[in-house]
Amino acid sequence: MRGLGVGRQIPSLLIAATGLLLTLAPARLDAQSYPRAGSLELGGSGFWIGASDAGAAVAEETQNQTGGGGSITLFETSARLGSALGVGGRIGFNVTSTIAVEGELIYSRPPIVVSISNDFENAPDVSLEGSSLHQYFIDGGIVFHLTNLRFNDGGVPFFSASAGYLRQLTEDRQSIESGQVYQLGGGFKQLVGSGQHFGVRLDVRAGIRKGGFAFDEGGRRTFFVLGGSGFVVF
């Protein structure tokens, strides 16, 4: 499947961003190392969001024969949200040099991939990529800057945790699903240039999506991974 093949590849923009961050020269050193307490950060990123499960269903037919009853399975279906690229924006505030709070919005278009198996007439299993969802993560979280592990005054690794709102719309925007999203991850930030007002950021996260689009009911929880690179402005 074309969609599944793309999902196995990490986009080149993430690889390029990682190389850039690893080779950047330290920003002009200042008496006060980044991050500075009381400072505001604005940022934007490109993301790759991995595929995740979206439930399963069974198509059955009731037998009406005299003295019989019961049902037979015609076929089974399972669904997943394919991997997708996304874009996001965030605003953060450095409460101290170690702790920051931030809010973030991420938009993506994951495709719905449906697999059909166990056909009653022994037809071969097949996977089909259907329409894509409009998916939004709107969350708030906390960032811990690991200042003891900094590699220069302009760069610092971090750990992050967030929780928020999930909203998914079908391609025609006629059906809406909602839920919650939780993310845990880390990365690093690096100041660029001499002005100390611009930097780059790399994120890698694991997440849980609760609710949203699914073939079955019951508040399904699904796991996903997310990687992103972008910029920050101070």
For 87-136, write each residue's pLDDT tens digit. Answer: 999 999 999 999 999 999 999 999 999 888 777 777 777 777 788 999 99
Cβ distance 220 to 189 under 8 Å? no
The answer, yes or no, to whether residue 4 has pLDDT greater than 50, is: no
Give the whole-angstrom CA distance, residue 23 versus residue 207: 29
pLDDT digits (tens, 9 = 90+) for 130-162: 889 999 999 999 999 999 998 777 889 999 999
pLDDT of 231 strictly over 90: no
In the predicted structure, residue 178 carries a pLDDT above the cut 70: yes
Residue that the structure tokens 């007439």 belong to: 121
Cα(221)–Cα(102) distance, integer angstroms: 24
* Domains observed in the chain: 2-55+74-233 (2.40.160.20)
Average pLDDT score over the chain: 82
Q: Would you give the distance in Å from CA 77 to the centre of its chain?
A: 25
Phi then psi dihedrals of residue 162, to 5 deg: -150, 160
Distance CA 176, CA 168 (A): 6
CA angle, 175 as apex, 109 and 83 as ends, to 5°?
A: 20
> Which of the pair, 75 or 4, is modelled with greater confidence?
75
What mean pLDDT is predicted for residues 69-78? 73
Asked if residue 16 has pLDDT above 70, the reply is no
Band the pLDDT of 63: cuts 50, 70, 90.
low
Strand-by-strand arrangement of the 126-132 sheet = 52-62, 71-81, 111-117, 126-132
Going by C-alpha positions, the residue among 176, 232, 185 that lies closest to residue 204 is 185
pTM: 0.78
Cα–Cα distance measured from residue 160 to residue 228, given in angstroms and rounded to the nearest whole number: 13
pLDDT value, residue 9: 47
